[in-house]
Structure 1
């Protein structure tokens, strides 16, 4: 089973987090893609999908995730059998803390995909580095990849 990591970011932190997750899941030969460059038709239930998504503005998706979200809406694929995990990025000083990752998770589950594992929520107001938290989280979901 392959791991596909999709990241949506505004400032680049999501890409750094995606790299850290890929390092932690290297035994599964992960592939990393910017959501803005990934076609919905390439989603494959045989893969394990990891979503890394920041929150932008007033609880919206980052610019990099918008093309993927728009395509999910227009194509509306049947994603039954697709399993995914989410690592969200945000700042707890806002009411919309980590809303970006939640939006993508809702869009995927609405189409039949199943979210597994802990929905990680990094808080940029904390002293924890996002890549460090992502690495620890990925180690925790590694066993779910094959499950």
Structure 2
């Protein structure tokens, strides 16, 4: 089993977090990192463990960087039975109604296609004083111990 990290970003923070998670989770298994702009939904493999890092944009939408991947899932509707994934979202609690909605949209789509979300949905609040990389690292260590060790 390998760890496949996919990120969808608007301003680059999700990419930075995903890159850091690749270092953290690399201690557990072979890890690869992909921008959702360039990853085909048909390449999702249930043999791998997937980590999704996704920001939220605008009024609770997916970031531009996640749209092609989501559209591929929506159009092709691949059978994702057996696929496990963990999700780390980026948002801002100032927008209460749409806080971390981008990640939720992706998770809902993956689950609707048969995938199983494992672990706690990590949620970073852009209004907090905690750096996204730091919170993601703590989250990833728990995911690694529970699902990859």
TM-score with structure 2 setting the length: 0.96
Q: Which residue of 2 aligns with 1:69?
A: 70
CA distance in 2, matches of 1:76, 1:90: 27
CA distance in 1, matches of 2:120, 2:24: 16
Structure 2 residues not aligned, in runs of 5+? none
**Runs of 4+ displaced beyond 4 Å:** none
CA distance in 1, matches of 2:81, 2:67: 22
Structure 2 SS opposite 1:105: helix
Structure 1 residues not aligned, in runs of 5+? none
CA distance in 2, matches of 1:80, 1:37: 23
Is the contact between residue 3 and residue 145 of structure 1 (CA under 8 Å) also seen in structure 2? no
CA distance in 2, matches of 1:103, 1:146: 25
CA distance in 1, matches of 2:41, 2:107: 14
1:1-147 aligned within 5 A: 1-27=1-27, 28-94=29-95, 95-146=97-148
How far is the alpha carbon of 1:146 from its aligned partner? Answer: 3.4
CA distance in 1, matches of 2:49, 2:147: 6
Aligned pair count reads 147
Is the contact between residue 116 and residue 144 of structure 1 (CA under 8 Å) also seen in structure 2? no
CA distance in 1, matches of 2:47, 2:66: 22
Q: Deviations over 1:54-73 (max 9, x none)?
A: 00000000000000000000
How far is the alpha carbon of 1:143 from its aligned partner? Answer: 2.5
CA distance in 2, matches of 1:146, 1:6: 17
